[in-house]
A and B are shown apart, each in its own frame.
Chain A
Amino acid sequence: MHDVGLIRNFSIIAHIDHGKSTLADRLIQLAGIVDERTFQDQILDNMEIERERGITIKSQAVALPYVAADGRSYTLNLIDTPGHVDFSYEVSRALASCEGVLLVIDAAQGVQAQTVANLYLALEHDLTIIPVINKIDLPAADIPKVKGQIAAELGLDPEEALLCSAKEGTGVEAVMEEIVRRIPPPGGDENKPLAALIFDAQYDSYRGTVIHVRLFDGTVAAGDVIRLFSTGATYRVEEVGHFLLHRQKREALRAGEVGYVIAGIKTIADVRTGDTITHDERPCPRPLAGFRESKPVVFASIYPIAADDYEDLAAALEKYKLNDASFVYEKDSSAALGHGFRCGFLGLLHLEVVQERLEREYDLGIILTPPSVRYRFLLKSGEVVEVDNPARYPDPAAIDHAEEPYIRAVMILPDRYLGAVMKLCRDKRGENPHLHYPSPGRVEMTFEMPLAEVIYDFYDRFKSVTQGYGSFDYELIDYRPSRLVLLDILVNGERVDALSQIVHRDQARPRGLTACERLQEEIPRQMFKIAIQAAIGSEIIARTTISPFRKDVTAKCYGGDITRKRKLLEKQKKGKKRMKMIGSVSIPQSAFLAVLKSDSP
């Protein structure tokens, strides 16, 4: 019997490291759907990179069976959300599938920048919010202070907050019970036309596209002909079900439920996360609302190290795209690197995640070019061109003026770091600072800064100067006039187009020198002297050199040494394959991103 009254759809949101994943693990453990032996820490974060970085990138869903105090058996659908500022769009998709959230707050650290940001997102979706104070076992836990912040900074009733220690398991049962009690069951009408929201999708090499959906109205079952709203494409459903860590086939999914649909969709480009699924014969009148288009703000090109891998890279990007609606790409080519793709990312972390996943999951050797933001050039002809690829830099003589995107950065930090962060932001061309003291000892600072400065090692330096205590979030605000130049890198006199950057005039010289120094460190010594130069047009503004090897040969090579020698040299040949030949110089993969790292600690 289908009873939506027995369903709860919820998410957990938190500032990074406040214990979201640990709490999710506890809930899964308590639901008894996984035995101790197979229980891994942070089950929802099932991608290697997420585990290593301790962040959640992809949303996942899991159905938790729970017998509540009222004696009834509920299904609690936990929809995991990404935990990083780069992924706010994915958070929004997951939240649109829920009726409530657990807002987890660290009992020692209290409310942080992302606690607030996540709360606003949840409020935007009109969700029930259950504050959960976690890590109450910590000696530094200060529950009264956190309750004070919940009232003052979040505007929530502190008496509603639940206390728990996910690590030790205390209070977790009560969390389950309160999910049932406070979060409303999903609405919707199973007799109405089907309206299901795609909040995620994955590619299964055997089954094709596995679409993760939340049904708002109607039902869907195997054999149904469904239509994807945005494209109008129709498919016959092969299988539906829900998630208990793994897919569990069911006869049908009904209004209010969360689950998956497999419909033989081989062309992964047909599935857009955020789209609505309906029945072909009896469609719903309009697509579901609540999703916004993600906008890439950081752009970089991806090239295969080996030209032969281009097709594999194309296939990998196509597959990757299915799991990451916020990732965009198009074909690109470079004189130095051959054929590749220009890609858009939500931020630098997103870029690094994509890079790592392509390398690990698809076993591809790739080169990423220095990231860029999207600049705007107003030409003398009156034409406006947007450029996110240094290769498309307009003819300098034709440019009237340039503009670059600005962000408003919101940083919360202990006030003892104020001076250091102020200086950092000023160095990064920040302007118009505003200070606000939400609680004694803490300062919330906003700054307007060029986005380009933020992607250039800002995170690392911010984390460093605040010793990890600061939190940072940003939003794009507008474009402002700027003085830009194209900074080229030459290796042995040959311009490497893939290393070009668009930079602010005043920073061209230090940037150029830093790039040359980084390349000097990253490019291994070779047989010849290598000259590395930075140039604006024909003007050389910085230069470094790499001294060559003088001796590299074994003294003895006769008789039996030949097989051994060959094997040794073959190993070196393999190592060389991981590098890109630019002219006669082998440049390692790492060099392409290294030009963006500054030398500040």
Chain B
Amino acid sequence: MTGITESPPTGGLYIHFPFCRAKCPYCHFYSINNLDYLDEFFEGVSKEMGRRDRLFSALDTVYIGGGSPSLMTLSHLEKILGAVGRHWRVVEEAEITVEVTPEGLDYKWLTGAGELGVNRLSLGIQSLQAGILSFLRRRHDAADALKALEAVAAAGIVNVSVDLLYGVPGQDLEEWLRDLEKILETSPAHLSLYELTLERGTELWEEHRRGLFAMPGEETAALFFRETSRLLTRAGYEHYEVSSYARGTSRRCRHNLRYWRHEPYLGLGPSAHSFLPPGGRDASPAVGRRWWNVSDVDEYLGRLRSGNFPVEETEELNHRSLAFEALFLALRTSDGLDLEGWRRRYGEENCLLNDRVLEAACGEGLLRREGERILPTTMGLALADRLAVELWGGTA
């Protein structure tokens, strides 16, 4: 007889829908614009579910991202959520999110999605300024965006998140804050406000390299960050992660919190990432495991057809690496890091902090201490990456 068998944990599921009408010049997520693959894609993802369903006993978050998942018809959505339901028990209060774009978003699709169980939408508005939308080469305008928000409300989906970008070349701070206020009039449950980041391999990155435009400097970015946080906080939002704001703790994105809390998640579809913390069923107890799928639909499907996992690379994470990850992830969130829990989870010897830096960071108002917990201030969130590197006292 074997020893005690742990029952698999409750997990989060991410499905990467890799289709777009056209690639946005700043986006570095994997996508293609050949919709011929759609049917095969759904078969592939179902197959992959079959290979992976033992990892979790139940799901409490499902997130369909992309790509442009709003290209899915209701029958596609039904097919995929139906498959999810056949492979896992989806808990009653599960958060089921779909990323959508404003263009062509209609009442019928929204109500249909709601009936299929979708209870959260992430709406990629990006900006209300024509100049900025054109720089980002988005195909909608401000009117479409506001119309989409109305349609979502009419369809009765209250848990909606709005994606906006700041730090775009030529963007004016006052104008950005006015746009935010306009969005806030619709009282979205959640906002994801991202500083535009140039990623290697994207069109914008290439254009910037050729000197076609200049990015705002660090001081400007810091100013936008500060003023944004101030406005949203005053409006009653909780700045709970570097780029995330929630109208109350219950409106936080539970799926994203999994990433920042080192909780297990499974990613399906090309280029999707998965993570199992140590002690999980499919990982030996000593290490965490992260793997990601190949970033190619053809290869993804081919591997599944031939009975293989479509994994590009698997990485085993020892407790020292996990401790460092946990540190930099936790410092992105207003909850910060519970030092006691951290040490208990990854071992005292792996959780190394430089006390002098900790003391200085608290003294300079980057961190607060509440008992055994360290919490970044707004200034601290703006420096989260550097804070993590400087605070880390280990040699590796």
A interface residue numbers (CB < 8 A to B): 306, 308, 526-529, 548-560, 562-563, 565-566, 569-570, 572-573, 576-577, 581, 583-584, 586
Classify the interface of chain A: helix, strand, loop or mixed.
loop
CB <8 Å contact, B195 and A555: yes
Residue of A nearest to B357 (CB): A584
Partner of B328, one of A306, A550, A560, A565: A565
5 A-B pairs with least C-beta separation: A550-B222, A560-B273, A584-B360, A552-B386, A551-B222
In the complex, which residues of chain B have a beta carbon less than 8 angstroms from the beta carbon of A308? 395
Classify the interface of chain B: helix, strand, loop or mixed.
helix
In the complex, which residues of chain B have a beta carbon less than 8 angstroms from the beta carbon of A570? 324
Residue of A nearest to B366 (CB): A527
CB <8 Å contact, A550 and B395: no
CB <8 Å contact, B389 and A560: no
21 of the cross-chain contacts (CB-CB < 8 Å) are: A527-B366, A528-B364, A548-B364, A551-B382, A553-B242, A553-B383, A554-B242, A557-B329, A558-B259, A558-B260, A559-B272, A559-B273, A560-B292, A562-B273, A566-B321, A566-B328, A569-B385, A570-B324, A583-B356, A584-B356, A584-B357
Residue of B nearest to A552 (CB): B386
A82–B129 CA distance with the chains assembled, in angstroms: 71
| 11 extra A-B contacts, CB within 8 A, seeds A554-B385, A555-B242, A560-B271 | A527-B383, A528-B366, A548-B364, A550-B218, A550-B221, A551-B195, A551-B221, A554-B197, A563-B273, A583-B360, A584-B354
Task: Give, as a whole number of angstroms, the nearest-CB distance from B134 to chain A.
Answer: 21
A572–B324 CA distance with the chains assembled, in angstroms: 13
Task: Give, as a whole number of angstroms, the nearest-CB distance from A144 to chain B.
Answer: 59
In the complex, which residues of chain A have a beta carbon less than 8 angstroms from the beta carbon of B351? none
A566–B392 CA distance with the chains assembled, in angstroms: 13
In the complex, which residues of chain A have a beta carbon less than 8 angstroms from the beta carbon of B324? 566, 569-570, 573
Partner of B259, one of A562, A569, A577, A586: A562
Partner of B315, one of A529, A559, A563, A573: A563
A285–B259 CA distance with the chains assembled, in angstroms: 82
Residue of A nearest to B355 (CB): A584
Residue of A nearest to B328 (CB): A569
B interface residue numbers (CB < 8 A to A): 14, 65, 194-197, 218-219, 221-222, 225, 242-243, 256, 259-260, 267, 271-273, 275, 290, 292, 315, 321, 324-325, 328-329, 332, 354, 356-357, 359-361, 364, 366, 381-390, 392, 395
Task: Give, as a whole number of angstroms, the nearest-CB distance from B99 to chain A.
Answer: 12
A306–B394 CA distance with the chains assembled, in angstroms: 12
A551–B197 CA distance with the chains assembled, in angstroms: 13
In the complex, which residues of chain B have a beta carbon less than 8 angstroms from the beta carbon of A559? 14, 65, 259, 267, 272-273
Residue of A nearest to B165 (CB): A555
A567–B389 CA distance with the chains assembled, in angstroms: 12
CB <8 Å contact, A553 and B332: yes
In the complex, which residues of chain B have a beta carbon less than 8 angstroms from the beta carbon of A555? 194-197, 242-243
Partner of B386, one of A549, A558, A581, A584: A549
Most buried by B among A527, A549, A550, A551: A551
Task: Give, as a whole number of angstroms, the nearest-CB distance from B315 to chain A.
Answer: 6
A551–B65 CA distance with the chains assembled, in angstroms: 28
Residue of B nearest to A547 (CB): B219
A559–B257 CA distance with the chains assembled, in angstroms: 11
A581–B390 CA distance with the chains assembled, in angstroms: 10
A552–B219 CA distance with the chains assembled, in angstroms: 11
CB <8 Å contact, B364 and A527: yes
Residue of A nearest to B195 (CB): A555
Residue of A nearest to B324 (CB): A566
Question: In the complex where A553-B381, A558-B259 touch, is A572 in contact with B389 (Cβ < 8 A)?
Answer: yes
A577–B390 CA distance with the chains assembled, in angstroms: 11
A30–B383 CA distance with the chains assembled, in angstroms: 65
Residue of A nearest to B65 (CB): A559
Question: In the complex where A559-B14, A584-B360 touch, is A552 in contact with B385 (Cβ < 8 A)?
Answer: yes
CB <8 Å contact, B395 and A577: yes
Most buried by A among B14, B273, B321: B273
In the complex, which residues of chain B have a beta carbon less than 8 angstroms from the beta carbon of A306? 395
Residue of A nearest to B221 (CB): A551
Most buried by B among A554, A558, A572, A573: A558
A572–B390 CA distance with the chains assembled, in angstroms: 9
Question: In the complex where A527-B364, A581-B356 touch, is A556 in contact with B243 (Cβ < 8 A)?
Answer: yes
Task: Give, as a whole number of angstroms, the nearest-CB distance from B43 to chain A.
Answer: 23
Partner of B354, one of A526, A556, A560, A581: A581
Partner of B384, one of A553, A562, A573, A584: A553
